[in-house]
Each structure stands twice: as structure tokens, then as C-alpha cells.
Amino acid sequence: MTKPTNLDIGTVLSKVAAGDLAPDAALEQLGSMPEVSLGFANVDLERLERQGLPEVVFAPGKTSEQIIKIIQTLNASGQGAFVTRVAEDQATAVLQALPDAVHHATARAITRDIETPPPGTGRVAVVCAGTSDIPVAEEAALTARRMGADVETIFDVGVSGLHRLLTRLDKLRSARVIVVVAGMEGALPSVVGGLVDRPIIAVPTSIGYGANFEGVAALLTMMNSCAAGVSVVNIDNGFGAGVSAGLINRLEA
């Protein structure tokens, strides 16, 4: 059957309000649409089917009203909503409009589900070097959980106190994939890579002194890692690392 073409969500909601369309029929109609036009955005409703994760909203540059409308559109189609890099003023506005949304303050994200997600399966470990790296690590952890993974977080185990990492080797070796987040010189992924037989996704952060160049030094260190099996995402890209980890975790299921 041919899927409906692009349709304004307002048309569907107006029909519901007028009594011309039952709510269940509206949900089915929205759920079968490839995208919904909001004027300022074309919300991709097929991404869950194609990629295993609904369209994720990147908050910077968007107004709070735009974020709210995108969340409502995703929910109306039967999908959960996930917003990344949310500023405090945006979070306040979204929660006022949608009180049942959840603000993950440390991860700088908002989620709003229409049903409780099932328990995670498999195991993804998210490791970070220092406390300052935790926001990026939490973004990765939350993203992997949204991908259906059981996530273990191991924070503040950087190379300046290597014993902290060594006492957690059992947890690292029990994971299917490991996300390693580090700033400064970015050495931690190479260290972890030399200790485990698991794929590692390295995330450089913009944390560091001047010669860190806002994460460029850590990025180059990770890209030049002598440890096999280390892949690298962009600076501060916890979201991208979480998606990759979630996909690898699914393959192992």
C-alpha cells in the first residue's frame, strides 16, 4: 500500500477536534505518514523503521515552541521523543508545556515517552576520564539506553590514577561495547583498548587547558591510538557514540 504523502499535522488534529476523525484513526494516520510538515521542520516519522531510533531533536538554534511542537508530533505518531543539548531556559519552557516530559539535566536532554520503555538488554559500558567529562558521558549513556541497551557507567577513572580503572576491569570485560570519554590529552581509550577484547568508541571532549584546543588535542590522540579496535567520534559527540554503541549491542543480541 502506498504511504500517505506529507501532511500538516494541524489538518489531522482539526478533524479530531471537529469530531470528523476518531483519535485512534488519527494515530494510525499519523503513524503511517513518512513525515509531518510543521512549516519550520519536516519531522521524519520513518526514521525509527529505518534506523532503529526515532528522529532526535537537536535543541541549539531552535525556539522552545519549535521543540515542543516537534515533541508533540513525534508522540502523536506513537513514537517517543528525545531532545539533546537542551539549555536551561528551553528545558523550563518544555516542562511547563509538557509536565510529563523528563529533563535529564546532566546529560542536557529531555525525553517524553508515550509508554514505559522495556528493560535494557545486552551491556554497554560508558567510561569517562574525569568528572568534567560526565555531561558528555551521560549523553552517551542516555542515548544507548534509548537504543535498548543495559548501560553501566564508570566515571572518573582517568590515567592520572590508573588503579581506579584496573579495579573495574571485570565490568569492562563484561560489556559488549565500551564508550570511553576523555578530554585533556585523551589517552584513556588507548589504555582501555589495551586491556579488553571489546569494540571501543572514543569520545574526545572539549575539556582541557589551552593546548587542548577545545578538544582537538584529545581528538588527534584518539585518532592516532596504537590500540586496535578504537573508533572515534567528533568532539563532545556523546550522542553519536551512544547510537553506535547501541547498534553494536543489538548486533550481539
Burial class (CB in 10 A: 0-12, 13-18, 19+), 116: exposed
Same domain? 188 vs 92: no
Show Cβ contacts of residue 142 under 8 Å, excluding neighbours closer than 6 positions: 104, 107, 109, 111, 242
| Residues 84-102 pLDDT 10s | 999 999 999 999 999 999 9
Mean pLDDT of the chain: 89
pLDDT greater at residue 63 or residue 33 = 63
Query: Which strands sit side by side in the sheet containing 200-204, from one edge to the other?
Result: 149-154, 121-128, 177-182, 200-204, 230-232
Written as one string, the DSSP assignment of 121-162 is EEEEEEEESSGGGHHHHHHHHHHHHHTTEEEEEE-S--GGGT
In terms of domains, do 101 and 126 share one?
no
> Are residues 108 and 141 part of one domain?
no
22 lies in some domain? yes
Q: Is 1 inside a domain boundary?
A: no
pLDDT at 154: 96
- For residue 54, being part of any structural domain is answered with yes
Q: Do 32 and 94 fall within a single domain?
A: yes
Q: Taking 70 as the threshold, does the pLDDT of residue 8 lie above it?
A: no
Structure-model confidence comparison of residues 83 and 7, the more confident one: 83
**Does 212 share its domain with 151?**
yes
Output 29 or 190, whichever has higher pLDDT. Answer: 190
Residues 95 and 177 occupy one common structural domain: no
Last residue of a domain, one of 71, 90, 112: 112
Residue 107, pLDDT > 90, answer yes
What's the predicted TM-score (pTM) here?
Answer: 0.84
| 2 domain residue, yes or no | no
What is the model's pLDDT at position 62? 96
Q: Is residue 240 a part of any domain in this protein?
A: yes
Q: What's the pLDDT tens digit per position in 58-80?
A: 999 999 999 999 999 999 888 99
Round to whole Å and give the CA distance between 244 and 175: 14
Residue 214 CB contacts under 8 Å (≥ 6 apart), including other chains: 206, 208, 235
Question: Looking at per-residue confidence, does 118 or 114 come out higher?
Answer: 114
The range of the structural domain enclosing residue 18 comes to: 7-112
Residues 30 and 90 in one domain: yes
Domain final residue pick, 90, 112, 134: 112
Whether residues 70 and 141 share a domain: the answer is: no
Considering the domain architecture, whether residues 183 and 241 belong to the same structural domain is answered as: yes
- Residue 193 has a pLDDT of 94
Residue 3 has pLDDT above 80, yes or no: no
pLDDT in tens, 193-221: 999 999 999 999 999 999 999 999 999 99
Q: Is residue 184 part of a domain?
A: yes
- Tally of structural domains, the chain: 2
What is the mean predicted confidence (pLDDT) over 32-56? 83
Q: How confident is the model at residue 146 (pLDDT cuts 50, 70, 90)?
A: very high
150 and 245 share one domain: yes
pLDDT in tens, 48-58: 888 888 889 99
- In this structure, the answer to whether residues 52 and 73 fall within a common structural domain is yes
Which of 112, 142, 162 is where one domain is finished? 112
Q: Is residue 226 a part of any domain in this protein? A: yes
Same domain? 101 vs 159 = no
pLDDT above 70 for 45: yes
Q: Residue 105 falls within a domain, yes or no?
A: yes
Rounded Cα distance, 189 and 191, in Å? 5
**CATH for 187:** 3.40.50.1970
Q: Which residue has the higher pLDDT, 27 or 49?
A: 49
